[in-house]
């Protein structure tokens, strides 16, 4: 093990090597007279390494048992390759079959498989070029996020997944229980025997708890799974997805927009710099406008557009939209994409939305008609980020809760943050999968989540 | 905002500064004749900055409204402090009350509060020295984990939280549903109207899904929330906690032990280097053996002790244990702590456990009596890590499933990993909160989780 070299490192070698050990999975085998070629991949990068094995190599006989999907160990020399498109190849001195794959039954034969088919073998699809690339990019994107916030002194907070109320009204919630199916007690005492003694749900957002920490540690972010029990089978919705939610104190809407823009650029630039090889695959096979739009994104100043002006632009666009727009309606993906892809051709931050379409915790502007909310719109996905300055004034917040006919009681602790040392503060939520869709061009959210969960679909 | 300096940076300034802007929360106020001292904290570090305000400062009148817990903004000069224990102080030229805190009702007055009381105000406790320190250490520990794995080429994988079966038998599970309480249909069709159309639970481990990714991308890790519906009210158990689970291919039990030891040392050393000020608080007020044992841990070679020998040592120890030990019994915390705290005085990795007490997926040793499992035991918490080499042989794995009377059907995809290109592979789980308890000396898991969830307790 210790002397094994990963293929990524072997391919980046500065000089030939007399002896290397490669372990990985065979992608293809080609036989010639007296020798064979194996293309081997170990997940460390997109590119396979080519292994040349001739009759003199120990274990040459095993070759007949080796097919696509088999695990092998190879000892050999790293030598310059005469072939084009590759600098190095391995001349095997010893070949070992680690685990076979029966060509009759192994589902990943050398041909293009549909995304739909690959979803049914989600446990094997990361063995393909495309899904290997997606999940390396997913991992690097997550690292970029942690690095971005760490550099800026934000504390990573794990807000709870299990919550006691459907407070926020951000969406349909899953209920969590330890009572057996068919448990019939309702009304008073219905939760008496349940684990928490009361209704428990899966979180739709860690924002409110994040605010509590921002009002002590000044700058925090969450990065964790979030849930929506919405029964919608679309390429954009999953029941379980990951979200990044920074909250920071002494910050207004302008600070919020600046942080959001910095984050999106940082992540995108990080992926351009660290995942160039994987990105190329998507630029070539998935979306040929990809590199242009990503390179454009990192150098553009994001447009800052009041909601009111956005509505005017959309109304005067001459564009046929499925959903009409008027002051007081929420923007649909078609509008969002028109603004950033067609009208401005770069990311757009729409801000100051009508308070009638936004939740209670967003700060009411002086016009008493709009709130200090913002949405960041990007190519391919539309809304990537939604956020706001939070209402820090106790009286205004209580009035909003009342206006919306909500019960103040469960918010006692949230109101405490305004009772004791309240500060202007802001935050937003970034949908992690939406970022991945933007950066890869992959159009279905199911294909950027290792094991996606959607209505009636809970496999693996 | 942009000209604001955070207290951590101000305190590390190399030279006096003519004008700085500090924003934060007042920890204490002391009045003298004609001037006052404010100790202000902004969460960026444990230490407060001292502000001196005299009658000439703009806003001096606001002082009478400023008490512990109030949010303030201060403009002033950073000057050398004549006081001991602090290099810098701020001479205010302008003071602004941002948000008041009524001394009659603000719960965090300047005195020692019990941990039990502070749990009832979990939204405010990060404003105390101790909890600020805990949650900064929690954040830095998480960053250390990502950095450790990133440096080693491990891909971060988000394994699903919602799972379709209670496969693994690792513990009691929470059930997830969208059916209303009191829904009475049982038997056939009971899940027909439920979101996923079948039973859904919260994950107890991402291991099995992690293995699928290790068998494609070679090295992966998960870091996410995990759930246990065990009705046990102890200082060591929470219903929701975070776990780190690496899985890596072409790796045996020795590689696994080496990775676990490297990880624990890396994390501990990272905290020693990056959180020295916060750690000092725990060494002083929580556990005076803390620094000794952490410094010892990072330089020690962890003991590697076969389970069989561990049992002998415990039997011959002359120690009175609550639970007797024999070959075939699981180690209890008292045994684990005896081994690493008393007998060896350093971390111990116990390995090769009897197969009768371990789950089906652990690799059976040649003796057919033990499996290639390991537990890493550390001071203060006992078991920090549990892991194993995974059974990669299809026939042996199927036989184990049968032996244990389990149904093979839901594991079709897990068995596929052994059908197609199977490889020796290993992995483990590290309880994140246990690490935090080890590194801070905090004895109750509720105090290292921002909003802990335990039986009958689901506040905030």
3-state DSSP call for residue B415? helix
Distance of CA B459 to the CA centre of its chain: 20
Q: CA of B419, closest CA in chain A: separation in Å? A: 7
The answer, yes or no, to whether residue A1 has pLDDT greater than 50, is no
Given a contact cutoff of 8 angstroms between Cβ atoms, the answer to whether B60 and B54 are in contact is yes
- Top CATH class of B7-99 equals mainly beta
Give tens-digit pLDDT for B23-80: 999 999 999 998 999 999 999 999 999 999 999 999 999 999 999 999 999 999 999 9
Give tens-digit pLDDT for A173-190: 999 999 988 888 888 888
| Predicted pLDDT of residue A403 | 94
Spatial separation of the C-alpha atoms in residues A363 and A372, rounded to whole Å: 5
| Predicted pLDDT of residue A169 | 60
Confidence of residue B3 (pLDDT cuts 50, 70, 90): confident
Contact criterion met (CB < 8 Å) for B457 and A195: no
| Predicted pLDDT of residue B219 | 98
What is the number of residues in chain A?
460
Angle of helix B432-440 relative to helix B276-285, nearest 10 degrees, comes to 70
Closest partner residue to B202 (CB to CB) among A176, A251, A416 is A176
The answer, yes or no, to whether residue A166 has pLDDT greater than 80, is no
**Mean pLDDT for chain A?**
95
Residue ranges per structural domain of chain A: 7-99, 125-447
What ranges in B152-205 are assigned the alpha helix state H? none
**Which residues 6+ apart lie within 8 Å of A193 measured at CB?**
A179, A185
Please give the residue of chain A at the shortest CA–CA distance from B201.
Answer: A176
| Predicted pLDDT of residue B166 | 58
**Which residues 6+ apart lie within 8 Å of B320 measured at CB?**
none
Span B290-307, average pLDDT: 97
Residues of B in contact with A124 (CB under 8 A): 212, 216, 416, 420
DSSP for B428-453 reads EEEEHHHHHHHHH----GGGSSSS--
Tokens of B81: 């402090």
Residues of A in contact with B250 (CB under 8 A): 1, 4, 23, 73, 98
Spatial separation of the C-alpha atoms in residues A112 and A309, rounded to whole Å: 46
Spatial separation of the C-alpha atoms in residues A76 and A60, rounded to whole Å: 13
Give tens-digit pLDDT for A329-385: 999 999 999 999 999 999 999 999 999 999 999 999 999 999 999 999 999 999 999
Given a contact cutoff of 8 angstroms between Cβ atoms, the answer to whether B226 and B244 are in contact is no
Task: Sort residue A109 into left (φ over 0), alpha (ψ -120 to 50) or beta.
Answer: beta
| Predicted pLDDT of residue B83 | 82
The answer, yes or no, to whether residue B332 has pLDDT greater than 90, is yes
| Predicted pLDDT of residue B109 | 83
Tokens of B293: 């044992």
Spatial separation of the C-alpha atoms in residues A388 and A363, rounded to whole Å: 7
User: CB-side exposure of A355: number of CA atoms within 13 Å?
Assistant: 23
Residue A342, classified by CB atoms within 10 Å of its CB into exposed (0-12), middle (13-18) or buried (19+), is: exposed
Span A65-82, average pLDDT: 97
**Which residues 6+ apart lie within 8 Å of A128 measured at CB?**
A108, A113, A118
Nearest to B290 by CA among B306, B274, B309, B271: B271
| Predicted pLDDT of residue B336 | 97
Enclosing H/E stretch for A257: helix A253-274
Tokens of B418: 């052994």
| Predicted pLDDT of residue B1 | 40
Tokens 């003519």 -> residue: B18
**The whole model's pTM is what?**
0.97
3-state DSSP call for residue B337? helix
The answer, yes or no, to whether residue B7 has pLDDT greater than 70, is yes
Spatial separation of the C-alpha atoms in residues A277 and A380, rounded to whole Å: 21
The answer, yes or no, to whether residue A167 has pLDDT greater than 70, is no
Give tens-digit pLDDT for B73-120: 999 999 999 988 889 999 999 999 999 999 999 999 877 899 999 999
3-state DSSP call for residue A79? strand
Contact criterion met (CB < 8 Å) for B175 and A178: yes
Contact criterion met (CB < 8 Å) for A252 and B172: no
Residues of A in contact with B219 (CB under 8 A): 43
Contact criterion met (CB < 8 Å) for A421 and B162: no
Q: What are residue A201's DSSP bridge partners?
A: A163, A175
Strand duo B200-202 + B175-177: pairing: antiparallel
Spatial separation of the C-alpha atoms in residues A53 and A61, rounded to whole Å: 10
Architecture of domain A125-447: 2-Layer Sandwich (3.30)
Give the Cβ contact number of residue A266 at 10 Å. 18
Give the Cβ contact number of residue B48 at 10 Å. 20
Residues of A in contact with B450 (CB under 8 A): 157-160, 209, 213
Give tens-digit pLDDT for B226-269: 999 999 899 999 999 999 999 999 999 999 999 999 999 999 99
Contact criterion met (CB < 8 Å) for A181 and B181: no
First-to-last C-alpha distance (Å) of chain A:
30
Span B364-375, average pLDDT: 98
Contact criterion met (CB < 8 Å) for A451 and B121: no
**Which residues 6+ apart lie within 8 Å of B130 measured at CB?**
B281, B285, B286
First-to-last C-alpha distance (Å) of chain B:
30
Q: CA of B435, closest CA in chain A: separation in Å? A: 15
Of the two residues B387 and B187, the one the predictor is more confident about is B387
Given a contact cutoff of 8 angstroms between Cβ atoms, the answer to whether B114 and B125 are in contact is no
| Predicted pLDDT of residue B189 | 86
Give tens-digit pLDDT for A3-20: 899 999 999 999 999 999
Give tens-digit pLDDT for A187-226: 888 899 999 999 999 999 999 999 999 999 999 999 999 9
Cβ contacts below 8 Å, chain A against chain B, sum to 327
Spatial separation of the C-alpha atoms in residues A310 and A443, rounded to whole Å: 25
Spatial separation of the C-alpha atoms in residues B138 and B450, rounded to whole Å: 10
**ipTM of the complex, rounded to two decimals:** 0.97
Give tens-digit pLDDT for B107-163: 998 778 999 999 999 999 999 999 999 999 999 999 999 999 999 999 999 999 999
Please give the residue of chain B at the shortest CA–CA distance from A392.
Answer: B99
Given a contact cutoff of 8 angstroms between Cβ atoms, the answer to whether A338 and A319 are in contact is yes
Tokens 């106790």 -> residue: A394
Q: Range with the lowest mean pLDDT among A128-142, A371-385, B77-91, B431-445?
A: B77-91
Backbone angles phi, psi at A239, to 5 degrees: -75, -25
Residues of B in contact with A163 (CB under 8 A): 458
Of the two residues A1 and A48, the one the predictor is more confident about is A48
**Mean pLDDT for chain B?**
95
Span A421-431, average pLDDT: 98
What ranges in B165-275 are assigned the alpha helix state H? 207-217, 253-274
């Amino acid at each position: 093990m210790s002397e094994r070299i990963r293929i990524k490192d072997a391919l980046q070698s500065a000089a030939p090597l007399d002896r290397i050990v490669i372990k990985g999975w065979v992608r293809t085998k080609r036989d010639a007279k007296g020798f064979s070629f194996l293309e081997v991949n170990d997940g460390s990068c997109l590119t396979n390494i080519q292994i040349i094995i001739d009759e003199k190599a120990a274990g040459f006989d095993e070759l007949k048992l080796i097919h696509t999907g088999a695990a092998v160990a190879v000892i050999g020399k790293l030598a310059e390759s005469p072939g084009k498109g590759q600098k190095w190849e391995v001349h095997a001195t010893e070949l070992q079959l680690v685990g076979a794959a029966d060509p009759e039954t192994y589902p990943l034969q050398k041909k293009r498989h549909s995304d739909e088919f690959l979803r049914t073998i989600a446990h094997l699809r990361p063995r393909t070029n495309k899904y290997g690339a997606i999940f390396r990019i997913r991992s690097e994107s997550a690292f970029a996020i942690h690095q971005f916030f760490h550099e800026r002194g934000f504390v990573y907070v794990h807000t709870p997944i299990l919550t006691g109320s459907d407070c926020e009204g951000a969406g349909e919630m899953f209920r969590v229980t330890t009572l057996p199916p068919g448990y019939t007690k309702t009304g008073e005492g219905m939760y008496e025997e349940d684990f928490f003694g009361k209704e428990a749900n899966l979180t739709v957002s860690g924002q409110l708890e994040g605010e509590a920490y921002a009002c002590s540690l000044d700058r925090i972010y969450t990065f964790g799974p979030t849930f929506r029990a919405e029964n919608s089978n679309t390429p954009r919705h999953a029941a379980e997805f990951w979200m990044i939610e920074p909250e920071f104190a002494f910050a207004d809407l302008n600070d919020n927009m600046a942080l959001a823009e910095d984050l999106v650029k940082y992540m995108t630039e990080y992926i351009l710099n660290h995942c160039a090889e994987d990105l190329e695959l998507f630029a070539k096979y998935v979306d040929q406008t990809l590199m242009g739009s990503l390179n454009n994104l990192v150098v553009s100043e994001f447009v800052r557009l009041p909601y009111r002006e956005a509505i005017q632009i959309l109304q005067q666009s001459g564009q046929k939209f499925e959903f009409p727009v008027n002051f007081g309606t929420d923007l649909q993906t078609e509008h969002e994409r028109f603004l950033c892809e067609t009208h401005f051709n770069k990311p757009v931050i729409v801000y100051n939305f009508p308070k009638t379409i936004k939740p209670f915790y967003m700060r009411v502007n002086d016009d008493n008609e709009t709130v200090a909310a913002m949405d960041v719109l990007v190519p391919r996905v539309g809304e990537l980020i939604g956020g706001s300055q939070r209402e820090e004034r106790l009286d205004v917040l209580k009035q909003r809760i009342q206006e919306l006919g909500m019960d103040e009681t469960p918010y006692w602790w949230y109101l405490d943050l305004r009772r004791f040392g309240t500060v202007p503060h802001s935050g937003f939520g970034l949908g992690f999968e939406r970022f991945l869709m933007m950066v890869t061009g992959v159009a279905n959210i199911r294909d950027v989540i290792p094991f996606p969960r959607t209505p009636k679909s809970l496999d693996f």
